[in-house]
Chains A and B, each alone.
Chain A
Amino acid sequence: MITDPIARAAARRFIGGCTLWALVGVAALFLFSLAVTTAVATFAGPIEVSGWGEVSLPLKWGFLAFGAVMAVVTLPQHVAHGRTRREFAVHQAVCVVAMALVTGIAAASAFALESLVYRVMDWPQEVSRTGLYTEADQYALVALEHWLVLPTWIGVGVFVSLGFYRHIALGAALIPVGAVLVHVVEAAVKSVDFSAPYLAEPLAALGVGSGPGVMVASCLVGFLLAMVVTWAVVRDIPLRSRTH
């Protein structure tokens, strides 16, 4: 619970603002997918898959980019106005989770909205993918998958961009770290037996089987590692000036 009114205002502005932009981004992408679907139906033939299902990957990349921009804009603003890096690190972690939560709900709602259009147009709303949800009307699983993977995607965007803000070499060095984290959480939710990549055999040796628990734990560890790396980058990050 934040008791300092200024810190509360900072948190409200940061988390509320980012969450709102996340919703705007999802809405814009949804409208874009509908527009493309309509164009394809008009000019290229029948629709066979869900347009919203096809933009699942661009949505994640969009959130990674959003996390990157959000971090390099917000951190200097907050520190320049007398807030600490520690406070920023906590607020951004909450912000990332809040964005993932609303995006999960928004993504499921988008499938529901899309189903109305597809029903009217008599198009099949198929989802051609592997992952937690394999049908467009598995709304709970749609939300759950976004809740599990988006925090890591956004967190990777945050630490890579702050790495570049700090030093170009650090930013470049953090790209493979981010790639590994994203791969771990994506592989965890997409594997048929929910096993964690790289960890399945060691876990089996320890007598821990694969299953939903391991998948959730893998995603949680991915997100926590992203936050740890973010803190390592941000804890004494200098605010750049034009000369240094």
Chain B
Amino acid sequence: MSPTISAEELRLRYRNTTAVDGLTLTLDGPGIYGLIGRNGSGKTSLMSVLAGFRRASGGRARVNGQPVFENPRILPEICLIRGGADTVEHELRNRVSDALKLAADLRPNWDADYADELVSKFGIDRTKRVVQLSTGQRSALASILGLASRAPVTLLDETYLGMDAPARYAFYDELLRDSMAHPRMLIVSSHLVDEVSPILERVVMIDQGRLLLHEDAETLRARGATVSGPADTVADFVSGRTVLNERRLGRSASAVVYGELAEADRAHARESGLELEPVPLQDLFVHLTKGENR
């Protein structure tokens, strides 16, 4: 069955704070989805409701057409791994092997061989207690619990926190490889947009608990362009357009412009000796979520 998630007018409040504010969203089918938003934009809160970690204050959250909260038929199909090793914080006294055994006992689609492979890949000692692992290793362990769960809906909430760069890139590679080998809905939340964007198929951007956009990643990248070439020519070309980012190196420059370019504009750019590339999601993200600093 192709996994689907739907949120209708979803709300989550913490006393005086509205974390998710009437969000409506439908995700359909396997793939890697990026949930992107600034710190405090409501990513963790949204994922927590979608995984049944919290009851929504209002609206509806459904997975495969069924309500999520306290639903024994649907909850085993969902796996949420929270960042900063939150997921393993209650396993601190346990050994790594105990944490894996617990997941093996409780996760219906658990792949023990794959978990073993990842434990070796990330260099985690399974005889160590979780409390003895570094923060990065705890995050890696949490990521292993998420990936090896092979849950049809897997939500990875900034699981890279604490990992060093090689571990993060190994995690992204593994995410891509495994999603191709075992297609399922993988939702990755992040604010390190540059790092994660190459593996994303669809992008959900939220801000202040509201949905900003939900689009195919390629379509989103086509919303603008990175123009590079001689500085004067670049300046002429971007004149009158919305410039998201600009860099200059000697006589060369590059600028990120927002807004779709017509075919005539593209032809003109090429004739002028300019190179056009898709817009980096990071720049688009900064542009779309800029506003008052929080």
Contact = CB atoms under 8 A, between A and B. Distances in A.
A239 B54 contact: yes
A84 B53 contact: no
A6 B72 CA distance: 11
Contact of B55 (A77, A78, A236): A236
B143 to A, nearest CB: 14
B256 interface: no
B86 interface: yes
A42 interface: no
A80 B75 contact: no
Given A82-B75, A241-B82, 18 more contacts: A4-B72, A6-B76, A6-B105, A10-B105, A72-B90, A73-B90, A77-B102, A79-B53, A82-B106, A82-B151, A83-B76, A86-B70, A239-B53, A239-B54, A241-B48, A241-B53, A241-B86, A244-B14
Contacts of A6: 76, 105-108
Contacts of A84: 52, 70-72, 75
B103 interface: yes
A238 B55 contact: yes
B70 A13 contact: no
A124 B76 CA distance: 57
B44 interface: yes
Given A9-B105, A239-B48, A244-B14, A80 B54 contact: no
A83 B86 contact: no
B50 interface: no
A85 B71 CA distance: 10
Nearest to B91: A77
A55 B231 CA distance: 84
B102 A82 contact: no
Nearest to B47: A241
**Interface of chain B: mostly helix, strand, loop or mixed:** mixed
A86 B77 CA distance: 17
Interface residues of A, number: 27
A138 B45 CA distance: 56
B242 to A, nearest CB: 33
A171 B87 CA distance: 23
B84 interface: yes
B141 interface: no
Interface string A67-107: 00000110011111111111100000000000000000000
B106 A83 contact: yes
9 interchain residue pairs of minimum CB distance? A81-B106, A82-B76, A239-B53, A238-B54, A9-B105, A82-B75, A236-B55, A76-B90, A84-B70
B80 interface: yes
B148 interface: no
A80 B105 contact: no
Interface in B97-133: 102-103, 105-108
B78 interface: yes
A243 interface: yes
A4 B72 CA distance: 10
A10 B91 CA distance: 16
A244 B90 CA distance: 16
A119 interface: no
